[in-house]
């Protein structure tokens, strides 16, 4: 059975992204926000050969950077759901 059109596009994009970040080290700011969490999740899922990720976390609202890091690591990652729009 041939892959669906959207799956083949997603695989092509993912492999291009994974190839770009292969053996790279990246620095992420704003990783505790919504978009930052989404970015980290996407990089971790899509780029298995990413060498290292550095994350800049600042204190905010009387919460230390270390506490925010613990919260970030404890936050659940959304599981990919199979969506069928047909």
Task: State the pLDDT at residue 13.
Answer: 56
Could you tell me if 42 and 71 are in contact, meaning their C-beta atoms sit under 8 angstroms apart?
A: no
Task: State the pLDDT at residue 16.
Answer: 84
Task: State the pLDDT at residue 76.
Answer: 76
Q: Which residues contact 20 (CB under 8 A, 6 or more apart)?
A: none
CA distances (Å), origin 4, targets 1, 52, 80: 9, 33, 17
pLDDT tens track, the chain, 86 positions: 555 555 555 555 557 888 888 999 999 998 888 888 888 888 888 888 899 999 999 998 899 999 998 888 888 765 555 545 44
Model pTM above 0.95 = no
Tokens of 58: 């600042």
């Amino acid at each position: 059975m041939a892959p669906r059109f959207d799956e083949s596009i997603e695989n092509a994009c993912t492999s291009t992204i994974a190839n770009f970040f292969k053996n790279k080290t990246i620095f992420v700011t704003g990783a505790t926000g919504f978009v930052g969490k989404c970015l980290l999740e996407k990089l971790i899922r899509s780029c298995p050969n990413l060498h290292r990720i550095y994350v800049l976390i600042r204190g905010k609202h009387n919460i230390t950077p270390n506490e925010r890091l613990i919260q970030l690591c404890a936050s659940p990652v959304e599981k990919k759901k199979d969506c069928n729009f047909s």
